[in-house]
Amino acid sequence: MPDIQVILADLGWPLAVAVAWLSGEFVHRWTRLPRISVYGLIGFVLAQVFPDALSSGASSNVTVLANLAFGLILFEFGYRINLHWLRINPWIAVSGLAESAATFGVVYLISHLTGMPPLTSLLLASLAMSTSPAGVLRVINEEDSSGQVTERVLHLVAINSVVAVFVFKVVVGFWVFQTSGSLTQAISHSGIELLVSAAMGALMGFLVPAVLRRLGALAQDGTIAFALGVILLVAMARAFDVSPVLATLTFGLAARHKRVAFSRTERNFGGIGELLTVLLFVFAVTTLEWDRVVDGAGLGLALVLARFVVKALSVGVFAHVSGISWRKGLLTGIALSPMSVFVTLLLEQTKYMGIVLVDELAALAAMTLLLEVIGPVITQRALKWAKETHEEEK
């Protein structure tokens, strides 16, 4: 007789992805809720029922595929960022930095007042600053959203994600220095690491368009070339222990400013990109345990509410000076809710250093689950209230 445990281990991830995809399609058609919210909910339930079948290590094939999926999304996200617009209207960048700083300060204060150690509070605050590019971009593409709020959300997500990565790496550097006494390690996982990551992405953003122009195949082979570039970049980032987040984001940014066309038909990198997206959002919650979510539920909910209010008000304050109404400014801040995928993969990367931070942050588990399911719904609602979705335009 075949061993049921072995069969479940072999079929666990394919079945989980299939069930999540089917559930996402049915629920989206019935309720119009974002598919990724369903992927996350189904992934979490399956991970609690079949924990052994959906286990994954830092070097497992599933983790590699999840990082690749995130890299593809970050490339497309970076491609949509217009640095020229930020130069013309610097108040957008100012509002992004102010919003990130305010979120960091409030989350740190609440965490510290509840008795959490200072270093742990700093880690939680640095992660809370971020907004998941994957969650936001997926909702925008699904709703075919466009307009002032949509574009500002994209640029603000890019700003606070880069700031979050930088601050997180600095805090982790202090953590390493405190535990190992090695100043070299502390420095290597902060500013230098981010500079190397950005340089790698910029170099790939120069090489791939150059090769495509040389081949004269921009229209036919662009998607494949960019996807291969992302694969190489993610692999190189893992090999050299630098940030794949900043590397792939910079790759997309550099490719855009090399004036390479990336057509609407290539959104999400086609069918394979869609499949990897399902795996990514299922993977993001399989690292969470029910007991840890329950333990951190109280503080996690308080931090989610504080983060939501601070982001909305911080962006809203700069609405008029940046050229939009108070209402659209508040909606832009509200749309910055998703966080989970970004946080999960950032924490996974620290495991290469022997640091398992999830065990220290029970509140983060609750925040991750809540914002995996609710965050995309809030973003979708904000875009609809701003009348920038395809549904509203009909």
Residue 36 lies in a domain: yes
Q: What is the CATH number of the domain that holds 126?
A: 1.20.1530.20
Query: Cβ(215)–Cβ(221) under 8 Å?
Result: yes
Question: Tokens at residue 107, please?
Answer: 């989350």
Candidates 303, 344, 390; CA nearest to 113 is 303
| pLDDT at 361 exceeding the cut of 90 | no
Candidates 150, 158, 160, 149; CA nearest to 98 is 160
363 or 104: which leads in pLDDT: 104
Residue 183 lies in a domain: yes
| pLDDT at 394 exceeding the cut of 80 | no
Q: How many domains does the chain have?
A: 1
Q: Which domain holds residue 182?
A: 4-386
User: What confidence score (pLDDT) does residue 344 get?
Assistant: 79
User: What confidence score (pLDDT) does residue 272 get?
Assistant: 79
User: What confidence score (pLDDT) does residue 316 get?
Assistant: 92
Other CB atoms within a 10 A radius of the CB of residue 271 amount to 8
User: What confidence score (pLDDT) does residue 289 get?
Assistant: 82
Residue 72 lies in a domain: yes
Candidates 104, 150, 109, 149; CA nearest to 130 is 104
pLDDT band for 262, please (50, 70, 90 cuts).
Answer: low
* 3-state secondary structure labels for all residues of 185-233: HHHHCCHHHHHHHHHHHHHHHHHHHHHHHHHCCHHHHHHHHHHHHHHHH
- Per-residue pLDDT of 195-242, as tens digits, reads 889 999 999 988 888 887 777 755 555 778 888 999 999 999 888 878
| pLDDT at 390 exceeding the cut of 60 | yes
Work out the average pLDDT over 81-87: 86
User: What confidence score (pLDDT) does residue 25 get?
Assistant: 93
Residue 393 lies in a domain: no
288 Ramachandran zone, left/alpha/beta (phi>0; psi -120 to 50):
beta
Amino acid at 294: V
Percent of the chain with pLDDT over 70: 84
Question: Tokens at residue 63, please?
Answer: 């983790």
Question: Tokens at residue 290, please?
Answer: 């029910």
User: What confidence score (pLDDT) does residue 225 get?
Assistant: 83
- Per-residue pLDDT of 145-194, as tens digits, reads 888 999 999 999 999 988 998 888 888 777 766 665 555 665 665 677 78
User: What confidence score (pLDDT) does residue 173 get?
Assistant: 76
pLDDT band for 360, please (50, 70, 90 cuts).
Answer: low
Other CB atoms within a 10 A radius of the CB of residue 290 amount to 14
User: What confidence score (pLDDT) does residue 1 get?
Assistant: 47
Residue 321 lies in a domain: yes
Residue 373 lies in a domain: yes
Question: Tokens at residue 163, please?
Answer: 């700031």
User: What confidence score (pLDDT) does residue 385 get?
Assistant: 94
Instruction: Work out the mean pLDDT of the chain and round it to a whole number.
Output: 83
Cα 184 to the center of its chain, rounded Å: 28
Question: Tokens at residue 6, please?
Answer: 């072995």
- Per-residue pLDDT of 59-69, as tens digits, reads 578 888 888 99
Residue 392 lies in a domain: no
What is the C-alpha separation between 352 and 346, in angstroms, rounded?
Answer: 11
Residue 82 lies in a domain: yes
User: What confidence score (pLDDT) does residue 185 get?
Assistant: 61
- Per-residue pLDDT of 99-151, as tens digits, reads 999 999 999 999 989 888 888 888 889 989 999 898 999 999 888 888 899 99
| pLDDT at 393 exceeding the cut of 50 | no
- Per-residue pLDDT of 312-353, as tens digits, reads 999 999 998 988 899 999 999 999 999 878 887 777 766 655
Candidates 91, 243, 250, 99; CA nearest to 160 is 99
SS3 content of the chain, % helix, strand, coil (to 5): 80, 0, 20
